[in-house]
Structure 1
Amino acid sequence: MNVAIVTFEGFNELDSFIASGILNRMKDVGWNVQITCPADTVTSMNGVTIAAQQPLEFANTAEVVLLGSGICTRDVVKDAQILERLQLDLDKQLIGAQCSGTLLLEALGLLDGMPACTDLTTKPWVQDAGVEVLDQPFFAEGNVATAGGCMASQYLATWVLAKLAGTEAAQSAVRYVAPVGEKDVTVEHCLSVVQTFI
């Protein structure tokens, strides 16, 4: 199971790393979760530089693609060269977007009229693109999902796990990363947010 965490220049660390950390709980059963970038290195909005584990094209053949957000997303969606490198297919892939990653979903024609979630800063730009923005942290329809707010990346990861590996796998992965003393409530909450959309 290949999972591409698509990460661009100016990325938000929480978006990419939380989803990666949770989904990597499945590597013992063959999940291959990779930070996927358009360049050899990218630097986050807070100055953290990381090396890409895979080139952008890895996303085209991955079973799961999660589009992260960042301060440069509005520039990314105007970059035809980057968009042309992404050839995603909702019939064969689960595709999710975090915060301003929703702009990418729209630019790639993957929302197809469905409402979406995003962060408060990105909301007016997503609305300007003609997308109805929901006042909730997570929404999915079929094989596409959106999440709004940095910490909502846990819901994207939970959705992916529940859809592809089952509820027990999702519970186990979320329980592992949940705060001590709050494990049961965290697992219950994450699953309650995504359950309608599985």
Structure 2
Amino acid sequence: MQVAVLTFQAFNELDSFVAAALLNRLSARGVQAWIVSPTQRVVSKGGIAIDRQKPLAFANIADAVIIGSGMASEVVAADPHILATLQLDPARQLIASQCSGALLLAALGLVSPGQPVCADHMTAPGLAAHGFRVLETPFHAAGNVASAGGCLSATYLAAWIAARALGPESAREMIHGAAPVGEKDAWVERTLAVIAPFLAPVAA
């Protein structure tokens, strides 16, 4: 399973790195998460410069796509080159946004005004002004499209993708391995409780 973690200039480090690192813990089961960007070099809002692992068009052939957030999300969501390049399809892909990544989710028509969506508190007012029903919850999914609000909700996105692709036990194993010592079971149970209502049958 190939996962594209869309990462743009002024990106939020937690959004991109946490999700990618968690999913890559399942590499022995065929999961590979990649940092995907329209530019070769991308710099985080904290000044961390990294090289992309895959170009933006890779997202179109990935099995799952996570749209990360950042300080430039509004610019990204209005960029005609990015919008034209991305041809995402929820009929064959799992697609999720993190925080302000919901702006690109909306710009691509993957969620529509009136539908529920999750985002961070800075992004929520703008989405609400455009008719979206912004939830005061960390995670929501409808079919193959999900959204999350708050940096550490990247854990829920990774767990949802793992559970949908490989089953809840794989998500449990992934979270258990990364959770704090002495709190592992509690972290696992809380994570699975959040995503459980949104789990469709495991993909074939």
When normalised by structure 1's length, the TM-score is 0.98
- Structure 1 unaligned segments of length 5 or more: list them: none
Distance between the aligned counterparts of 1:149 and 1:117, measured in 2? 9
Hey, what does 1:37 align to over in structure 2?
A: 37
Alpha-carbon distance in 1 for matches of 2:104, 2:78: 10
Give, in whole Å, the separation in 2 of the partners of 1:162 and 1:147.
16
Distance in 2 of aligned mates of 1:60 and 1:124:
30
Q: Distance in 1 between matches of 2:29 and 2:14?
A: 25
Question: In the TM superposition, what whole-angstrom CA distance separates every residue of 1:42-65 from its partner, at most 9, and x where no partner exists?
Answer: 100000011000000000000000
Measured in 2, the distance between the counterparts of 1:86 and 1:79 equals 11
Q: Kindly, what percent of the aligned residue pairs are identical?
A: 48
Residue 3 of structure 2 is matched in structure 1 by 3
SS at match of 1:140: strand
**Aligned pair 1:187/2:154, yes or no?**
no
Indicate the residue corresponding to 2:117 in structure 1. Answer: 116
Structure 1 position 87, deviation (Å): 0.4
Give the deviation of 1:129 after TM superposition. 2.5
Query: Structure 1, residues 64-111: CA drift from partner, whole Å, max 9, x if none?
Result: 000000000001111101111100001000000000000100000001
Residue aligning to 2:49: 49
* Residue correspondence of structure 1 range 140-159 to structure 2 within 5 A: 140-159=141-160
Give the secondary structure class of the aligned counterpart of 2:133: coil
One-letter amino acid of the structure 2 residue matched with residue 96 of structure 1? A
Q: Give the residue type in structure 2 aligned to 1:116.
A: V
Matched, 1:59 2:80: no
- Cα RMSD of the aligned pairs, angstroms, is 0.7
Q: For residue 97 of structure 2, what is the aligned residue in structure 1?
A: 97
Number of aligned residue pairs: give it. 198
CA distance in 2, matches of 1:54, 1:184: 35
Q: Is the CA contact 1:9–1:72 (under 8 Å) kept in the aligned structure 2?
A: yes
Determine helix, strand or coil for the equivalent of 1:70. Answer: coil
Distance in 2 separating the partners of 1:128 and 1:25:
39
- Between 127-136 and 139-148, report the one with greater CA deviation: 127-136
Deviations 1:167-187 (A, max 9, x none): 110000000000000000000
Equivalent position SS for 1:84: helix
Amino acid aligned to 2:147? T
Cross-structure match for 2:202: none
CA shift for structure 1 position 29: 1.7
Distance in 2, matches of 1:142 and 1:183, equals 29
Q: How far apart, CA to CA, are the structure 2 residues paired with 1:16 and 1:129?
A: 26
- Runs (4+) of structure 1 exceeding 4 A deviation are none
Q: Helix, strand or coil: the match of 1:100?
A: helix
Corresponding residue of 2:172? 171
SS in 2 for 1:190: helix
Name the SS of the counterpart of 1:39 in structure 2.
coil
Q: Look up the equivalent residue of 1:186 and give its one-letter code.
A: W
Aligned 1:68-79 pairs, distance under 5 A: 68-79=68-79
